[in-house]
Structure 1
Amino acid sequence: MNTSTTHHQRIAKMLFSTVYPLYLAKIEKKGRSKVELNQVIEWLTGFDPNKVQNLINEKVTFEVFFRQATLNPSANLITGVICGYRVEEIEDTLTQQVRYLDKLVDELAKGRKMEKILRGL
């Protein structure tokens, strides 16, 4: 993976409020719902839909978003390739967490069953 400081800073400074609608459009195009997207986000971060909306309204960066999150202890079970890189091999913690979320959204869009996405609950 591109491990440059610039790359990690760019990800850290991205606004969650900019990316969330892209996630939503991606999954809705494939027949999934906002409720399911929020369920995936809540599983990974501990944020309920109201908290997610507050973070969107506050225009927080991914850095702030994940600093406030309580990452699911099973997040390390998220494996596979996202954007051409193996999620489990990403060394920068924040970049890995963002890619965890990307991977879960991809799985949702691909029609994977929710129990599999949430790693067996």
Structure 2
Amino acid sequence: MPNTTPAHDEKIAVLTFASVYPHYVTKVVKKGRTLTELHEVIEWLTGFNEQKLEELIEEKISFKTFFERAKLNPNAPLIKGMICGYRIEDIETPLTQQVRYLDKLVDELAKGRKMDKILRTS
């Protein structure tokens, strides 16, 4: 599978977190998971609590800024597998990989995976 392209990476970098967040909410709630669980997963990955997320959504920051401000969980590299046609561990652009980490966690939550499995511990 080819790696991401510069155009693909740029498209992801300029996307706003605020534009994608409602899709995360819809995806997990539709599958019977809660907003609290979604926030727990996002906080595990980024360090952003619910109040901070609301501020970042209000600010309409890009994913680039979102992940620049995040304190990425040291266990994030344990997130592996396929998402959107890309193998996460093979993505070379750090920002694109970080966004795909988040996508993968949301996916696992929506698929009913147990929280202790989603929130990887070493």
TM-score in terms of structure 2 length:
0.96
Task: Give me the whole-angstrom Cα distance separating, in 2, the residues matched to 1:83 and 1:70.
Answer: 24
Q: CA RMSD in A?
A: 1.1
Instruction: Give the equivalent residue in structure 2 for 1:31.
Output: 32
1:116 paired with 2:92, answer: no
> What count of residue pairs does the alignment treat as equivalent?
121
Q: Which residue type is aligned with residue 20 of structure 2?
A: V
Unaligned runs of 5+ in 1: none
Instruction: Give the equivalent residue in structure 2 for 1:107.
Output: 108
TM-score in terms of structure 1 length:
0.97
Q: Which residue type is aligned with residue 32 of structure 2?
A: G
Instruction: Give the equivalent residue in structure 2 for 1:9.
Output: 10
Task: Give me the whole-angstrom Cα distance separating, in 2, the residues matched to 1:120 and 1:97.
Answer: 17
Instruction: Give the equivalent residue in structure 1 for 2:67.
Output: 66
Task: Give me the whole-angstrom Cα distance separating, in 1, the residues matched to 2:8 and 2:85.
Answer: 15
Task: Give me the whole-angstrom Cα distance separating, in 2, the residues matched to 1:10 and 1:27.
Answer: 24
Task: Give me the whole-angstrom Cα distance separating, in 1, the residues matched to 2:112 and 2:64.
Answer: 29
Q: Which residue type is aligned with residue 34 of structure 2?
A: S
Unaligned runs of 5+ in 2: none
